[in-house]
Amino acid sequence: MSWLTNRVLPKIGLGRRKDGPDNLWEKCRACGQMVFHRDLEQSFRVCPHCDHHMRLTASQRLELLFDDGVFERLKTPQPPMDPLKFKDSRRYPDQIKDARSAAEADFAVEAGLGRIGGQSVVVAAQNFFFMGGSVSPGEGEAIVAAAERAVQEDAALIVCAASGGMRMQEGILSLMQMPRTTVAIQRLKEKGLPYISVLTDPTTGGTTASFAMIGDVAIAEPGALIGFAGPRVIEQTIREQLPDGFQRAEYLLEHGMVDMVVHRHELADTLGRILSLMREPVVAPPASLPPPEPVVIPEPDADSELMNTEPDSAEDDAGEVPEKSS
């Protein structure tokens, strides 16, 4: 019997749903080469010609990361709808309705509970195809719920960012998702649980300026645009050409803003390894390596203080060390 309930089996098709003749080939925006849709699905939308990382939906992201693509989908409670009665060219509830039917999801964040490299983890993924991945109270709630569930399950939390920032149509309440998500993540961190942020193309605005940048470890996907202000805004402000590669993942790595840039095909393995290092302080050494040299510890005096205090101090530390989940 699996410990997972409501398990979501991986879908085979990651590409476009409509399988008309138009959609069999897709043009890579980076190199311009045509890619066969099945090749693109197999490579998780990484161009086989130039390695360009195309954007993933939240569902594709969850399938990519969880072991065997298996996870329990988390439900997000529905917050009050359209609190501002917002209207631009159209009413906001109508825009939401369209976004929901196009994305086949209720929110621009989807979350799941499962395992990565055997490690128990909750992943919340933003969906840039849902109103630009913008964060309203609904998306904030999804991240808060994901963090709270991770605490309940003694699991790590990973957020995969892909977002233009906070959603204008819910105004100040969207902006308040910056402190809201921060509180939920702080409470998770204080339980000794790891929080890893994965920054994908694009991550800007209030998303970057809150949960995306407070990870214990920050991982970016190659070529991803990551920043606070968008490049167009900066260009208009300073009226200068921006430097080459500005706000791209590699640029951020060079400026010390992320820990690593990781190819999508190595992302799950990397996350699994990091989580294992954080949560399994000791594992059996690999069989191929010779056993470690025995460490010679000088005999302490029978009445030394060290002898007496050692067990106590070890106990004090126990609260700080995250225990491996069962």
Partner 1 sequence: MQTYLDFEKPLAELEGKVRELQHLAQTNEATDIDAEVDTLRGKASKLLADTYKTLTPWQKTQVARHPERPHTSHYIDALITDFTPLAGDRSYGDDKALIGGMGRFRGRSVMILGTEKGHSTEGRVKHNFGMARPEGYRKAQRLMRMAERFGMPILTFVDTAGAYPGVGAEERGQAEAIARSVEVCLNVKVPIIAVIIGEGGSGGAVALAVGDRVMMLEHSIYSVISPEACSSILFKTSDRAIDAAEALKLTAQDLKRLRVADQVIPEPVGGAHRDAAATMMRVGDAIADALSMFRDMADDQLLERRRDKFLTIGRMPV
Nearest 5°: CA angle at 223, between 240 and 270? Answer: 145
Q: Can residue 119 be called a binding residue for partner 1 (CB under 8 A)?
A: no
Residue owning tokens 């979501």: 8
Candidates 57, 127, 200, 210; binder of partner 1 (CB under 8 A) is 210
Give the footprint of partner 1 on residues 245-284 (CB under 8 A).
246-247, 251, 255-257
Contact 76, 127 (CB under 8 A): no
Within the chain, residue ranges assigned H as helices are 37-42, 58-65, 92-103, 137-153, 171-175, 177-189, 205-208, 231-238, 249-254, 264-279, 305-318
Q: Which residues is 226 bridged to in the sheet?
A: 203
Give the footprint of partner 1 on residues 71-100 (CB under 8 A).
79-80, 83-84, 86-89
Task: For residue 203, give the DSSP letter.
Answer: E
Token pair for residue 115? 């395992």
Contact 181, 211 (CB under 8 A): yes
Q: Can residue 234 be called a binding residue for partner 1 (CB under 8 A)?
A: yes
Q: How far is the CB of 219 from partner 1 (least distance, A)?
A: 15
Candidates 243, 292, 294, 311; binder of partner 1 (CB under 8 A) is 243
Instruction: Give the whole-angstrom CA distance, residue 172 versus residue 83.
Output: 10
Measured N-to-C along each axis, helices 58-65 and 264-279 cross at an angle, to the nearest 10 degrees, of 60
Q: How far is the CB of 87 from partner 1 (least distance, A)?
A: 6
CA 176, 182, 185, 190 torsion-angle sign: negative
Instruction: Give the whole-angstrom CA distance, residue 183 versus residue 220.
Output: 23
Per-residue mark of binding to partner 1, 151-170 (x: CB under 8 A): ---------------xxxxx
| Residue with smaller CB distance to partner 1, 127 or 207 | 207
Q: Phi and psi (nearest 5°) for 14?
A: -100, -10
Candidates 54, 70, 151, 176; binder of partner 1 (CB under 8 A) is 176
| Residue with smaller CB distance to partner 1, 70 or 214 | 214
| Residue with smaller CB distance to partner 1, 175 or 278 | 175
Q: How far is the CB of 223 from partner 1 (least distance, A)?
A: 17
User: Binders of partner 1: how many residues, by CB under 8 A?
Assistant: 56
User: Which residue, among 57, 54, 63, 46, has the nearest Cα to 224 in the 3D structure?
Assistant: 54
Q: Can residue 178 be called a binding residue for partner 1 (CB under 8 A)?
A: yes
Candidates 31, 183, 260, 277; binder of partner 1 (CB under 8 A) is 183
Q: Phi and psi (nearest 5°) for 164?
A: -85, -10
Per-residue mark of binding to partner 1, 25-54 (x: CB under 8 A): ------------------------------
Q: How far is the CB of 216 from partner 1 (least distance, A)?
A: 12
Residues forming the site for partner 1 (CB under 8 A):
79-80, 83-84, 86-89, 137, 140-141, 144, 166-176, 178-180, 182-184, 186-187, 205-206, 208-214, 227-229, 233-234, 237-238, 240, 242-243, 246-247, 251, 255-257
